[in-house]
Amino acid sequence: MYRFLLTPRWLGGTALAVAAVAVCVWLGSWQLGRFEDRVSTHQETKQSLTASSEVRPIDALLGPATPQVSTETVGKPVTVTGSYDTEHQLLVPNRVLDGKQGYYVLTPLRTADGHAVAVVRGWAAGDPSGAAPTAEAAPTGPVTVTGRLQANESVGSNGAVAGGLPAGQLGMINRAALLNVLAYDGWYDGWVAADQVPAGLTAVPTVQPQGGDGLTLRAFQNLGYTLEWFVFAGFVVFMWFRLMRQTAEAEQDRALGLDPVLD
């Protein structure tokens, strides 16, 4: 009854089905590997941030060899010494903390060599459509700030926008945006979230850079593609088996003389 499987037509069809299943399984396994890599990166980053409790000067992390904040340095505790530029404090709107809308309070800190560091001294609750909050003025004179290194923001991440804000407000925290507002000799990459905040403000938690911590939308897309490819492989097997059964039943009917009589 199954001798038809040895015909050239069925041998070719079976070979094609096997090849299709193999390709689907390979692509599904590759997508699963991509997802596992992203999860592993996420876990390694978390472990690195947890294990690294040593506070280091900002120059030790953002030197000539590594001038930009990366997934390896984001969240690392740093210190920076200088004087706050109290005349150019900025508010960064549309920042959500614990489900509430508010503002980051950003005060530039000038170092002895003239460079500047964007220091977010804390978060204040406030509706962007209403009056902006007021924050306690930054201290004058030399200070040493301890905080966590944060990555540059980009449009669409964490409420960041390109512009269109009132004077004294900043749409996103990155070197280019800061240079447009305050043309200092140079800005350190990223920004620092201060650990010690003044009364009325809340400390800002570490914000992972978009796409840098492993568990992004793209990671879960990889998982979805994995499922799709495995479903395709199962569908090919199902259709081959179904067609084989139909053909076998038709062969059996012919052997029993049950072919329909056509007028």
- The predicted-structure confidence for 12-27, as pLDDT tens digits, reads as follows 888 898 999 999 999 9
What's the pLDDT band for 104 if we cut at 50, 70, 90? very high
For 186-201, what is the mean pLDDT? 90
Measured CA distances, 77 to 54, 65, 146, 147, 203 (Å): 7, 19, 7, 6, 14
Q: Tell me, what's the pLDDT at 213?
A: 46
Query: Is pLDDT at 214 greater than 60 in this prediction?
Result: no
- DSSP string for residues in 190-225: SEEEESS--TT-BPPPP-PPTT-SS-SHHHHHHHHH
Full-model pTM: 0.62
Query: Is pLDDT at 123 greater than 90 in this prediction?
Result: yes
Find out whether 142 and 82 touch, Cβ atoms under 8 Å: yes
Q: Tell me, what's the pLDDT at 211?
A: 47
Q: Which residues contact 133 (CB under 8 A, 6 or more apart)?
A: 91, 102, 103, 124, 125, 126
